[in-house]
Structure 1
Amino acid sequence: MLLLKALLIVTKDVYLMSTKLDFDHYNQWIAPISQLESPAFVQGLMIGQICADTSLTEALWLKQFLTEAGITKIKESWLHDLHQLYEQTLLGLNSDAFELELLLPDDTSSLAQRVHHLALWSEGVLHGLGLGQLPELNTELTELIQDLSELAMVAPPEDADDMAEEQYMQLYEFARLAAMMFYDQLHPMATKAPAKAASDAAVTLH
Structure 2
Amino acid sequence: MSQLLSFDEYCDFFAPIGALNSPAELHGMLCGQLSGGARPGLAKWQQMALVFLDLVDLDDKLISAELRQAIAEMYSNTLLALEDEAMGFSLVLPDEDTEMSQRLQALSQWCHGFLTGFGSSGLSGEQSFSPESAEALRDFAAIVQIGTDEDDSEQSESDLFEVCEYVRLAAVNLFLEFSPPSGEGKKQPGIVH
Normalising by structure 1, report the TM-score.
0.78
Q: C-alpha deviations, 1:63-87, integer Å up to 9, x for none?
A: 2233344413332111111112112
- Which residue of 2 is the match for residue 192 of structure 1? 187
> What is the CA–CA distance in structure 1 between the aligned matches of 2:137 and 2:128, rounded to whole Å?
10
Where do 5+ consecutive residues of structure 2 fail to align? none
Deviation at 1:196, TM superposition (A): 7.4
Contact 2:25 2:111 in 1 (8 A): yes
- Which residue of 1 is the match for residue 94 of structure 2? 105
Contact 2:81 2:87 in 1 (8 A): yes
- Which residue of 2 is the match for residue 92 of structure 1? 81
> What is the CA–CA distance in structure 2 between the aligned matches of 1:93 and 1:20, rounded to whole Å?
12
- Which residue of 1 is the match for residue 108 of structure 2? 119
Q: C-alpha deviations, 1:106-163, integer Å up to 9, x for none?
A: 1111122111101100010011112222132313322211110001111124322111
Where do 5+ consecutive residues of structure 1 fail to align? 1-16, 199-206
Pairwise CA RMSD: 2.1
Q: Which structure 2 residues correspond to residues 152-163 of structure 1 after superposition, within 5 A?
A: 152-163=144-155
Contact 1:93 1:100 in 2 (8 A): yes
SS in 1 for 2:35: helix
Contact 1:54 1:186 in 2 (8 A): no
Which protein is richer in strand relative to its size?
A: 1
- Count residues in correspondence: 181
Flag as ranges the 4+ runs of structure 1 deviating above 6 A: none
- Which residue of 2 is the match for residue 12 of structure 1? none
> What is the CA–CA distance in structure 2 between the aligned matches of 1:119 and 1:20, rounded to whole Å?
20
Question: How many percent of aligned residue pairs carry the same amino acid?
Answer: 28
SS in 2 for 1:127: helix
Q: Which has the higher contact order (CA 8 A, sep 6+)?
A: 1
- Which residue of 1 is the match for residue 128 of structure 2? 137
SS in 1 for 2:151: coil
- Which residue of 1 is the match for residue 9 of structure 2? 25
